[in-house]
Chain A
Amino acid sequence: MELRIENLTKQYGTNIAVNDLSATLTCGVYGLLGANGAGKTTLMRLLCDIQSPTAGSVSYDGMPIREMGDRYRALLGYLPQDFGYYPDFTAFRFLMYMASIKGLSRGFAKDRALALLEEVDLIRVKDRKIKTFSGGMKQRLGIAQAMLGDPRVLILDEPTAGLDPKERVRFRNLISTFSQNKIVLLSTHIVSDVEYIAGSILVMKKGKFIHEGRPHEIIHSIDGKVWECMVPSTTVPGLMERFNIGNLRSEGDQTLLRIISDEKPLESAASVVPNLEDLYLYYFSEETQPASL
């Protein structure tokens, strides 16, 4: 089973959202990392065939997804970034409605909906209207609907947005269990989610993949570029203007800084082992909106 992306391009006027992308996704969990405007959502919409590419194609097991049509959609689960719902539907009714759209039989849909509501911890509120749900509850319902048809290809656009730490852990475990023999692609700003569950990471910038590989492989690409040093707290503002600072931690009148830099930033700085957060900051430090880490 493979999802092949070939020279995929999507252009809006003069803006190129996805720029000549090629990749092959096989079974496993893929984390899609990128700043706002990198083209992640557009790529996901192209993979779901809800936007037409300007050029290039996406094929599933050698067959273009446009030609597969309903057969491809039968294999697909999708959680969009802006999860839509009907405010007056109850959670259970909403899942049954989604099941009818996915062409599931009523009996199977009922069992599956109840099982998923249990999995996302919404079973006790299944008869409550969605408009009374918190943001996290709606997001969990969105995750449940995406998994409703037991899809072979699961595409999740920022699935952990709005989830608290406990819910994120539950989500990660759910995806890990679910992803056997399936292609799961998820985008997120929450780097730790990807770090835990993604077997492969695609780093996207300005419509292109700038890195792809296993987490530890792509982290190696910034070996020797992450530094830590203890500095007087009074010098921190000046250093923040000069360097790309990751974490900082105050310890009395001293501050421990984590600096991402190609060159050794300070005499006292020592090279440390990089992590995925450092990678994100290394590539997206110039982006206006910082990532949630």
Chain B
Amino acid sequence: MIEMIRYEIYKLLHKPLVWASLAGILLFVGVMEWRWVAPGYAAIQADVNGHREIILDFAAIKQNQEIAARYAGPLTTETVKEILDTYLFSDEMLKESGLDPERQGHYTHNLLYDTFSQHGFTTMAGEWNGSTIEDIYGQTAPDLILGYSAGWEDTIYAIIYCFLSWGCVLVILLSPLFCGEYDRHMDALILTGRQGRRKVPLAKITAAFIVSVGGSVLLIAVFFFTLLAAHGVVGFESSVQLGEMGLLFNTPYMLSWAQAFGFTCLLLLGAVTVLTALLLVVSALSKSSFSSLVISFVLFVAPMFIPWHKLPYILNLAGCLLPINQMQVNLLFSFDKIYLGNLGLNVMWLALPAALAAGLAGILWSKRAFARHQVI
């Protein structure tokens, strides 16, 4: 069986289009790593002896972390006000830099200032506008923890984009898994072999999951270790609502970045499992590699264009559990918990049974379809 799996992996990967796709995703991962994680795009404009000074990349990350450490802990309106007051540039300094204090006072300063500025705590002049944390964050406000969040948020953002691309690569890679044999007329030889209807499809399915799930784990690991190297684990306990980009701003309950990263991994691996199962079935049922590629691509991408949020709750939730929507993790993060009595359950956990059910159905259905395939 191991030998068969090795043959199937060899067959899967040994194609020019696959090599081109893998080269493409590697390049994309490299760019995303460089642009978002290490060093990322960190920039600080600091007041140094009355002059605006710009600090970039790792030095900016270090300084952002130092500033965040000063205010780390439960978020209060006073903390917000203090941060905005402390890092507001003087009118003279903004004018010296060619900026209009009345319109551009909120211009990039540092991570925390920018976060609260973008979340709606400032006027155009960059001063506190009087909003309280309850006004901005609603019922989650009392639970929020402030800290350094850029490393986690940027990493999750980069991973999401890489997985959307990885999903497309998987479509190219796995859509011909079974029907490629029909195209090459190998189906007749395989299906007349003693192991052709049991072990061969199982080997193909195993190879597909090794490549898809294995590749996904590798992708996550690369980003995670880069995050550790560039930012460390600092800020892991801070709240996802306080991210500068607002990636998970709509999460309706307190969640730390470490928890969010864990749920992101769960959602991405679940999405890849469901996608792999879908590709297996389409490949086994399709007449040719081309039709399988087209159908798979449409089934993967089309749910992105459906306004699920306008549908009833259950359909919306089901739609968000489809691979491409699940890969955009923020959709599921925006759902409130499901309460079973007093026990609140994050909907992200639904990805687990969904992946198991879809994976099992995909395995059984594709194996059966291939074994019963009529050679023509």
Contacts and interface: CB of A to CB of B under 8 A. Distances in A.
Interface stretch (A1-9, A101-109, A114-122, A176-184): A101-109
Contacts of B184: 84-86
Nearest to A87: B184
Interface in A102-152: 102-103, 106, 145, 149
Interface string A80-101: 1011111010000000011011
Interface string A21-55: 00000000000000000000000010011111000
Nearest to B182: A84
A5 to B, nearest CB: 17
Contacts of A80: 185, 188-189, 375
Contacts of B194: 70, 73-74, 101-103, 149
Most buried by A among B190, B191, B199, B200: B191
Given A50-B374, A51-B375, A88-B14, A100 B195 contact: yes
A84 B185 contact: yes
B41 interface: no
Contacts of A74: 194
A169 B82 CA distance: 96
Contacts, number: 77
A74 B197 CA distance: 12
A235 B376 CA distance: 46
A60 interface: no
B192 interface: yes
Contacts of B14: 88
B35 interface: no
B195 A48 contact: no
B375 A97 contact: no
Contact of A100 (B3, B11, B185, B376): B3
B195 A50 contact: no
B375 A101 contact: no
A102 B7 CA distance: 14
Contacts of B195: 70, 100-103
What's the dominant secondary structure at chain A's contact region? loop
B186 interface: yes
Contact of B191 (A50, A85, A97): A50
Given A50-B374, A51-B374, A51-B375, A86 B191 contact: no
A98 B11 contact: no
A76 interface: yes
Interface residues of A, number: 29
A85 B180 CA distance: 11
Contact of B193 (A69, A73, A86, A88): A73
A227 interface: no
Name the interface size band of chain B: 20 to 34
B186 to A, nearest CB: 4
Interface in B289-333: none
A280 interface: no
Nearest to B183: A84
B33 interface: no
A52 B372 CA distance: 9
B185 A83 contact: yes
Interface in B177-211: 181, 184-200
A211 B11 CA distance: 45
A33 to B, nearest CB: 22
B189 A101 contact: yes
B376 to A, nearest CB: 8
A86 B11 CA distance: 8
A73 B185 contact: no
B124 interface: no
Given A51-B374, A52-B374, A70-B198, A102 B193 contact: yes
B3 A70 contact: no
Contacts of A209: none
A282 interface: no
B4 interface: yes
A106 B185 contact: no
Most buried by B among A52, A76, A84, A145: A84
A238 B307 CA distance: 76
A48 B181 CA distance: 17
Contacts of B188: 45, 48, 50, 78, 80, 82, 84
Interface string A57-77: 000000000000110011011
Nearest to B196: A101
Contacts of B187: 50, 84
Contacts of B193: 73, 98, 101-103
Nearest to B192: A78
Contacts of B185: 80, 82-84
A106 B3 contact: yes
Given A50-B375, A84-B184, A100 B4 contact: yes
Contacts of B198: 70
A101 B200 contact: yes
A145 B189 contact: yes
B197 A50 contact: no
A84 B4 contact: no
Contacts of B199: 103
A76 B186 contact: no
A69 B371 CA distance: 11
Nearest to A42: B376
Given A73-B196, A103-B195, 10 more contacts: A48-B192, A50-B192, A50-B375, A73-B194, A82-B185, A83-B185, A84-B181, A100-B3, A103-B193, A103-B199
19 contacts: A48-B188, A48-B192, A49-B192, A50-B187, A50-B192, A69-B197, A70-B197, A73-B192, A73-B193, A73-B194, A73-B197, A74-B194, A78-B188, A84-B188, A86-B186, A101-B200, A102-B193, A102-B194, A149-B194
Interface of B: 3-4, 7, 11, 14, 181, 184-200, 374-376
Q: Which 5 A-B pairs have the closest CB atoms?
A: A84-B185, A101-B193, A84-B186, A50-B375, A103-B194
